[in-house]
């Protein structure tokens, strides 16, 4: 049965608190209104031309065209009108794809009351729905901190899809609740599964609880969960369980316990670690300042038939870089390449950062060139590392040249790229160059940090560069900047010392307006 229209003013069909409804934005749907019959005089007899025009106007809109029209429509109200209009076509019935598209559009716009009405209409449809629609809605409600509605979407699956939710759907729902720290709702959800679906949590589901406790630093609770898992055949710990526990121990700097658990996993439970598990340990020992132990873990990994990947090598390189042991980092880099593993952007950036931190800027520049030759694209982080290194070595002209040219070479720079150099110029008293860089930066749509802007204004005023300071302030104000009282007080004083009273009065007028805003 095809329901052509739905009344969005009807009451919610899901149970919810009044606060949930009041939190929704007011929504007046065109679907509330019925057509008004207007009596018109009989039309004149149709000619060949009018018949052709009629055929053009009544062109049939397919499901695919409907989906494209809804996706392109920015206004959710207009998208609803399209959704409703096509359903008026003779022989047209909405399907899973068109419903999924309109619900996605409404969810993106947070039109939750409209979503309820669409879901109500779906209960009367005869087409086959898929649970993916509800997985998507669960994620949107979770992002909007409407956690009870995450559960509502799960409970709606069986009545509308007419099938029990899959394991993927169960784990997604539980994970969303746990990630949002909604432990009570998660427990309520698990009770519902046990009571109504006769569902016994398997290892995949229980691992979510282990991850939650480890993330919160509650390792004792995590180990208690694992203890219970070992009593069950359905949810016995697997490699993911152990990797999660190892990560928690390493984060808490309990490295000795981590190694003991690692050995227990292999010897008692006969579970072989993979590259990801080894990476947890390598990262943990590197963070703990025990990079030589981390290197031994990599060697143990290779001797036991597990080939290290780019992430394992990069993690170890990063450990050596933090200790400024460039030579060892380079050895790991070349070892990785000798095994035919192509270094990625992160790997190159790690080594470049190590070169910059140890005063080897020329080597860092050579590595940057090597990246280009090997078609490994440097990202913003890579260039920011280079810019920082150039500034520390006093090669400010090279840094300024990079900032000037890189955007014309298709390289994206972010706000931090300009801030790195601007902060350095301010610290070194290179105020003319700082002013020029400020103009370049804002001309490209980037505003310096609030503290940096005030610092620059103060330094310009103290150096007697009142004209530069006024120009800088005017540009900053245009971009929405509000100076601190100390900054503009110094600036006014500087202008007065130069006996430019008219400029001082004009500036004061402008500043008063800013403060009033």
Give the model's confidence band at 143: pLDDT under 50 very low, under 70 low, under 90 confident, else very high.
very high
Find, among 452, 436, 457, 459, the residue nearest to 511 by Cα.
457
C-beta atoms surrounding 99 within 10 Å: 21
Give the model's confidence band at 463: pLDDT under 50 very low, under 70 low, under 90 confident, else very high.
confident
CA separation for the pair 393, 357 (Å, rounded): 10
Q: Is the dihedral of CA 208, 209, 214, 220 positive or negative?
A: negative
Percent of the chain residues topping a pLDDT of 90: 62
Lowest-confidence pick of 66-80, 200-214, 434-448: 434-448
Find, among 195, 146, 197, the residue nearest to 169 by Cα.
197
Query: pLDDT averaged over the chain?
Result: 83
CA separation for the pair 264, 275 (Å, rounded): 18
- Does 470 score more than 80 pLDDT? no
Give CA angle at 284 (283, 290), nearest 5°: 95
The 3-state DSSP class for residue 16 equals coil
CA separation for the pair 181, 170 (Å, rounded): 17
Please state the rounded mean pLDDT for residues 192-207. 88
Give the model's confidence band at 239: pLDDT under 50 very low, under 70 low, under 90 confident, else very high.
very high
CA distances from 394 to 359, 387, 388 (A): 11, 11, 10
CA separation for the pair 205, 200 (Å, rounded): 9
Please state the rounded mean pLDDT for residues 105-116. 94
Helix axes 466-478, 431-443, angle to 10 degrees: 20
For 11-62, where are the E strands, in sequence order? none
Lookup: tokens for 118: 């669409």
CA atoms lying within 13 Å on the CB side of residue 77: 7
Please state the rounded mean pLDDT for residues 161-182. 92
CA separation for the pair 385, 393 (Å, rounded): 13
CA separation for the pair 440, 510 (Å, rounded): 24
Give CA angle at 140 (135, 141), nearest 5°: 95
CA separation for the pair 471, 469 (Å, rounded): 5
Torsion, Cα 51 53 54 57, to 10 degrees, reads 160
Give the model's confidence band at 236: pLDDT under 50 very low, under 70 low, under 90 confident, else very high.
very high
Helices (H), 216-269: 219-229, 239-251, 255-267
Domain ranges of the chain: 1-32+58-128, 379-448, 451-517
**Cβ partners under 8 Å of residue 215, min gap 6:** 248
Which of 210 and 435 is assigned the larger pLDDT? 210
Lookup: tokens for 437: 């860089």
Provide the pLDDT for residue 38: 37
Which H or E element spans position 105?
helix 96-108
Give the model's confidence band at 16: pLDDT under 50 very low, under 70 low, under 90 confident, else very high.
very low
Lowest-confidence pick of 38-52, 103-117, 185-199, 286-300: 38-52
- Does 18 score more than 60 pLDDT? no
25, burial (CB in 10 Å: exposed 0-12, middle 13-18, buried 19+)? exposed
The distance in angstroms from the start CA to the end CA of the chain is 58
Give the model's confidence band at 54: pLDDT under 50 very low, under 70 low, under 90 confident, else very high.
very low
CA separation for the pair 186, 204 (Å, rounded): 15
The 3-state DSSP class for residue 484 equals coil
Phi and psi at residue 89, in whole multiples of 5°? Answer: -70, 140
Give the model's confidence band at 15: pLDDT under 50 very low, under 70 low, under 90 confident, else very high.
very low
What long-range pairs does 38-46 form, CB within 8 A, spacing at least 24? none
Give CA angle at 33 (28, 36), nearest 5°: 150
Q: Is the dihedral of CA 311, 314, 320, 322 positive or negative?
A: negative
User: pTM, whole model, 2 decimals?
Assistant: 0.71
Find, among 364, 319, 365, 314, the residue nearest to 335 by Cα.
314
- Does 193 score more than 80 pLDDT? yes
Question: For 341-384, how does the pLDDT look when each residue is reduced to its tens digit (9 = 90+)?
Answer: 999 999 999 999 999 999 999 999 999 999 999 999 999 999 99
| Pair 31, 56: CB distance under 8 Å | no
Lookup: tokens for 423: 């902060």
Torsion, Cα 142 24 15 82, to 10 degrees, reads -90
The 3-state DSSP class for residue 144 equals coil
CA separation for the pair 77, 80 (Å, rounded): 5
Question: For 316-334, how does the pLDDT look when each residue is reduced to its tens digit (9 = 90+)?
Answer: 999 999 999 999 999 999 9
**Cβ partners under 8 Å of residue 478, min gap 6:** none
Please state the rounded mean pLDDT for residues 116-145. 94
C-beta atoms surrounding 517 within 10 Å: 7
| Pair 274, 239: CB distance under 8 Å | yes
């Amino acid at each position: 049965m095809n329901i052509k229209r739905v009344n969005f003013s009807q009451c919610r069909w899901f149970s919810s608190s009044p606060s949930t409804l009041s939190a929704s934005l007011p929504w007046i749907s065109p679907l509330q209104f019925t057509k008004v019959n207007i009596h018109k005089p009989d039309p004149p007899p149709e000619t060949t031309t009018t018949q052709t025009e009629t055929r053009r106007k009544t062109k049939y809109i397919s499901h695919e065209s409907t989906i494209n029209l809804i996706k392109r429509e920015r206004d959710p109200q207009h998208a609803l009108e399209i959704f409703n209009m096509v359903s008026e076509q003779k022989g047209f019935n909405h399907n899973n794809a068109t419903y999924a598209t309109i619900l996605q559009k409404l969810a993106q716009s947070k039109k939750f009351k409209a979503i309820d009405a669409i879901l109500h209409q779906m209960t009367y449809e005869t087409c086959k729905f898929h649970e993916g629609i509800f997985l998507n809605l669960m994620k949107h409600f979770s992002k909007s901190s409407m956690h009870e509605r995450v559960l509502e979407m799960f409970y709606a699956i069986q009545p509308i899809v007419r099938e029990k939710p899959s394991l993927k759907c169960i784990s997604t729902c539980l994970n969303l609740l746990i990630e949002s720290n909604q432990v009570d709702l998660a427990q309520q959800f698990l009770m519902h599964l046990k009571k109504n679906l006769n569902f016994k949590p398997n290892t995949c589901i229980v691992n979510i609880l282990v991850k939650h406790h480890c993330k919160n630093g509650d390792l004792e609770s995590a180990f208690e969960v694992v203890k219970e898992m070992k009593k069950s055949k359905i949810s016995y710990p697997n490699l993911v369980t152990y990797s999660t526990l190892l990560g928690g121990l390493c984060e808490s700097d309990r490295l000795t316990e981590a190694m003991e658990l690692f050995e227990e996993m292999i010897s008692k439970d006969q579970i072989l670690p993979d590259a990801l598990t080894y990476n947890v340990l390598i990262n943990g020992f590197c963070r703990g300042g025990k990079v030589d132990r981390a290197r031994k873990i990599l060697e143990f990994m290779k001797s036991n038939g597990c080939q290290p990947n780019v992430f394992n090598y990069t993690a170890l390189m990063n450990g050596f870089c933090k200790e400024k042991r460039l030579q060892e980092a380079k050895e790991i880099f070349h070892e990785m390449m000798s095994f035919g593993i192509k270094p990625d952007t992160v790997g190159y950036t790690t080594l470049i950062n190590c070169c910059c931190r140890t005063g080897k800027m020329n080597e860092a520049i050579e590595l940057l060139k090597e990246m280009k030759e090997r078609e490994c694209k440097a990202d913003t982080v890579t260039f920011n590392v280079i810019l920082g290194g150039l500034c520390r070595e006093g090669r400010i002209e090279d840094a300024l040249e990079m900032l000037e040219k890189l955007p014309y070479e298709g390289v994206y720079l972010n706000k931090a790229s300009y801030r790195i150099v601007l902060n350095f110029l301010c610290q070194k008293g290179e105020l003319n160059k700082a002013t020029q860089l400020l103009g370049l930066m804002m001309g490209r749509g980037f505003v310096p940090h609030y503290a940096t802007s005030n610092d620059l204004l103060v330094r310009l005023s103290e150096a007697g560069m009142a004209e530069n300071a006024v120009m800088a302030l005017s540009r900053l104000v245009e971009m929405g900047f509000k100076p601190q009282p100390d900054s503009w007080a110094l600036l006014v004083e500087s202008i007065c010392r130069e006996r430019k009273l008219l400029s001082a009065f004009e500036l004061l007028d402008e500043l008063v307006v800013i403060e009033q805003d």
